[in-house]
Amino acid sequence: MKTIGLIGGMSWESTVVYYQLLNRMARERLGGLHSAQLLMWSFDFAEIEAHQAAGDWAAATGAMVEAARRVERGGADCLVICTNTMHKMADAVQAAVAIPLIHIADATAAAIKPTAVQRPLLLATRYTMEQDFYKGHLRATHGIDVCIPDAAGRTVVHDAIYDELCQGIVSPASRQRYLEVIGRARDDDGADGVIFGCTEVGLLLSPDDLDLPAFDTTALHAKAAMDFALDG
């Protein structure tokens, strides 16, 4: 088994899910007492969030590059950034290390392509929904065009992530608001699937809550990492 290097803590609420999923996958694949071989660097998310809010992406990139180098020096065989938003600096992180970066959008695209979904709705932080680093990667690399919620919907989705989910709050009222955002996108914009494009969204929604195909990026990313660790 190869060693998976995790850059987490953004937020730790979803990093916990990565840890659980990877260990469960190792046990399911290998049986018995097996678990995943992992190395993790976990940020103080308040520092990263401050860079995001200030638009200081250069400082955020510097922090991510240093974290990636630390994980590589620790002996990891691959790198997993446990957040969608911080894939904004995926190219810079990959350029700074020799080990492969397993890109969360590639793992997501691999799950979408075999389906009939043509216009998935991206639920994510405002940065991921409004900037092009994630949508553009899906479009340019995989030919997948996503739609995003309307302005009011983007505010609902973003605020619930930072004000609630990243702080361990799972609100039934926010779940209902998310479902309303999805319903509007389906009816008004032709959305025919939903990407849980923030690693915390799966804490609030389950695919069973939806009448559209759902793609949980956290679970898909973890699976891609475990596939690399065992088969790559």
* The three-state (H, E, C) secondary structure of 142-185, written as one string: HCCCCECCCHHHHHHHHHHHHHCHHHCCCCHHHHHHHHHHHHHH
Instruction: Name the catalytic one among 15, 83, 217, 218.
Output: 83
- Mean pLDDT across the chain: 98
Instruction: Name the catalytic one among 82, 198, 199, 218.
Output: 198
Q: Based on the domain organization, do 98 and 140 belong to the same domain?
A: no
Opening angle at CA 214, ends 8 and 111, nearest 5: 75
Q: Domain of 47?
A: 4-103+220-231
Q: Based on the domain organization, do 194 and 225 belong to the same domain?
A: no
Q: Based on the domain organization, do 22 and 58 belong to the same domain?
A: yes
pLDDT per residue as tens digits for the range 101-153: 999 999 999 999 999 999 999 999 999 999 999 999 999 999 999 999 999 99
Q: Where are the beta strands (DSSP E) in 90-141?
A: 120-123
Q: Span 148-159, mean pLDDT?
A: 98
Cα separation, 55 vs 172, whole angstroms: 31
Question: Does residue 141 have an active-site annotation?
Answer: no
Question: Does residue 83 have an active-site annotation?
Answer: yes
pLDDT per residue as tens digits for the range 3-47: 999 999 999 999 999 999 999 999 999 999 999 999 999 999 999
Q: Based on the domain organization, do 119 and 190 belong to the same domain?
A: yes
Who contacts 229 (Cβ-Cβ below 8 Å, separation ≥6)?
1, 2, 3, 4, 26, 36, 37, 77, 78
| Stated pTM of the model | 0.96
Q: Span 53-80, mean pLDDT?
A: 98
